[in-house]
Amino acid sequence: MKISFILPVLNEASLIRSQLRGLQAYRAEGHEIVLIDGGSSDDTIENAAGLADRIEISAPGRSTQMNQGAELAQGDLLLFLHIDTSLPAQADQLIAAAMNPVAHKQRRQWGWFDIRLSNPSLAYRIIAAAMNLRARCTAVCTGDQALFVTAELFHRLGGFPAIPLMEDIAMSKLLRRAAKPAPIKTAALTSNRRWQQHGLVKTVLLMWWLRLRYFLGVSPQVLVKQYYQRR
């Protein structure tokens, strides 16, 4: 099973090189890295040179970038990875084991990783535990959790909905209707920079509020404006 690691990025020059280096072992195993830049104004693309199999530019927006990456990908399985999330060691083997039909008595076609946040303090551990529990109870994961899905199922469902926010939730809901997930307990490590930059409590409350409004039917086009107004 060949995995395509698809990374949507925008102005990540400071992170891009170190994060891509951490994925090079997978390239050596025959997997591929597809980097889709949303029009960076810094040195993101230059710093990624030589560390990805494909580097392309698209219109900004994670759903747009990830869908373009999926169109270019050559893998049997697509893994959508935020640049500030680091996968656990031997992630490809963990995925293969999680999707093994012998273990589950039926084929699994998608899943995600549990996460832990880079800040080890209790508050951040509680946030990560809540995110992991919510994902397992609802079969709805966030983009930080490194969603993976077979290319066949992804394309059959039409890819990520073309919305500016909540594309990870919308995609998860499509996937859970199509197949049972294969969540992986071994945690990926994601940066706490979002919570640290805008404040822990403020960020948590904002995301809960936005998700509640999305659940109640407010359009992502409205929510994205409110997201940036309240940050």
CA pseudo-torsion sign 146, 77, 139, 158: positive
Helix H or strand E encompassing 86? strand 85-86
CB atoms within 10 A of CB 21: 10
Options 3.90.550.10, 1.10.10.10, 3.30.465.10, 3.40.50.720; CATH of 3-193: 3.90.550.10
The confidence score (pLDDT) of residue 166 equals 86
Q: Which of 50, 46, 53, 39 is nearest to 11 (CA)?
A: 39
Residue-level pLDDT at 197: 67
Let me know the angle formed at the C-alpha of 89 by 85 and 91, rounded to the nearest 5 degrees: 75
Rounded to 5°, angle at Cα 145 from 141 and 146: 110
Output the CA angle 51-55-57, nearest 5 degrees: 150
Q: Which residue has the tokens 């759903």?
A: 63
Q: Which of helix, strand or coil describes residue 162?
A: coil
What is residue 65's predicted lDDT score, i.e. its pLDDT?
Answer: 98
Residue 105, pLDDT score: 66
Domain boundaries, the chain: 3-193
Residues 6+ apart with CB under 8 A from 43: 13
Structure tokens at 211: 């998700």
Tokens of 93: 């083997």
| Biggest alpha carbon–alpha carbon distance for the chain | 49
Residues of the chain with pLDDT under 70: 102-105, 195-216, 218, 220, 222-231
pLDDT value for 182: 95
Please give the pLDDT value at position 192. 79
Specify the pTM.
Answer: 0.89
Amino acid letter, residue 68: Q
Per-residue model confidence (pLDDT) at position 106: 72
Look at residue 206 in the predicted model and tell me its pLDDT: 64
Cα→Cα distances 132→31, 129, 139, Å: 27, 5, 10
Give the pLDDT score at 216. Answer: 63
